[in-house]
Amino acid sequence: MEELWKDSNIFYNVLCFLITENEKLFDRSDAILYWRTVFHIMGILHHVYIGLFAKGLNIHNHPHPDIRILHTYGPGYLTGWNFTFQTIFLALSLVHDVLEWLDKQSSSLGTKIKYWRDVIFCGMVLPFTMFVSGMFWTVYAIDRELVFPKIYDSVVPWWFNHCVHTNIMVVLLVETLLQARRHSTNRRLEMILFWTVALSYAVVYYTIYFVTDRWLYQVFGVMNWWQVCLYQLFIWAITYVFYIIQFPINRLVHGAEPTIDNNEEKDPVDDKVHDNGRSLNPEENGKVAADGLPGDSWSLKFRSIKNNTENSRL
């Protein structure tokens, strides 16, 4: 009866096929890769849904001008820029996860994807996400009218606000726990990306103000010009600090990289060394080998001297 059940049960046979043909999916020892893959899939689904939802907001014909501005100058909000950076990063991460499951992470494509994934995360995603979320909720707690007026609640659901200003921090937290990035991948390139975004956004933001005589974020409207300049310098400085501190924080989570002691002998001598076709046994000091030559060769006698010379600071 049991054999008949096994032969006729399609689910049992499918399970057996998966276990035998795709054993790696079930016996994978790297549990972190599994959770990274699950997280990146959920992250992509989350970001794509939020992007489509924002696209579907019918606010371009809204009677209130403060709401119409959300549609007219939507590309000018740093929140949208940062959300785009995160979406690109999550897409690259998911592609690399798939390559890793297929054992193709060391291929040319896998190496390039990993490189740009880490550069984008360190140089763009983490510093600007920290700033967007931290600054938004700080100003919101002081006076929400300066950053997210109450009138927005009539068209923007509360959960959408948390998706673009709170959930983005969850991406950083989980990514920091699951992926070790103890040092910058390419500091020069990360700095180029960082300052390109920072300066480009400043140009876009202040251009919108000079053209329309309207601040996208009303927190700038309560300042005079010298305060605006100081606030802008503070924005750049604190965002740069976020970039710097990500690496020591990551090392606190994942530990420092193991160091290699140069004084340790990496290539131990085999019991028998072959020199010009003669078999020599270094353990037989002072004895004559079978071919009539001394048991130690010149290279063995002076090997320790050679190692000490190579490892010296000279």
Specify if 127 maps to a domain. Answer: yes
Specify if 71 maps to a domain. Answer: yes
Q: Are strands 278-280 and 273-275 parallel, antiparallel or unpaired?
A: antiparallel
Confidence tier at 62 by pLDDT (50, 70, 90)? confident
Question: Torsion angle of alpha carbons 242, 244, 246, 252, nearest 10°?
Answer: -130
What residue numbers bound the domain in which 290 lies? Answer: 273-311
Specify if 300 maps to a domain. Answer: yes
Residue 26 to residue 15: CA distance in whole angstroms: 11
Same domain, 143 and 182: yes
Same domain, 228 and 277: no
To the question of pTM greater than 0.85 for the whole model, the response is no
Question: pLDDT digit string (tens) for 176-189?
Answer: 999 999 999 999 99
Mean pLDDT of 23-35: 66
Residue 128 to residue 289: CA distance in whole angstroms: 71
Same domain, 243 and 173: yes
Same domain, 171 and 248: yes
Alpha carbon 186 to its chain centroid, in Å, reads: 13
Specify if 261 maps to a domain. Answer: no
Confidence tier at 58 by pLDDT (50, 70, 90)? confident
Same domain, 241 and 125: yes
Same domain, 205 and 285: no
Same domain, 144 and 199: yes
Same domain, 250 and 281: no
Query: What's the Cα-to-Cα distance from 314 to each of 32, 259, 262, 310, 311, rounded to whole Å?
Result: 44, 21, 14, 8, 8
Query: What's the Cα-to-Cα distance from 55 to each of 129, 160, 259, 295, rounded to whole Å?
Result: 21, 12, 50, 82
Same domain, 281 and 137: no
Question: pLDDT digit string (tens) for 236-245?
Answer: 999 999 999 9
The domain total for the chain is 2
What pLDDT sits at residue 211? 94
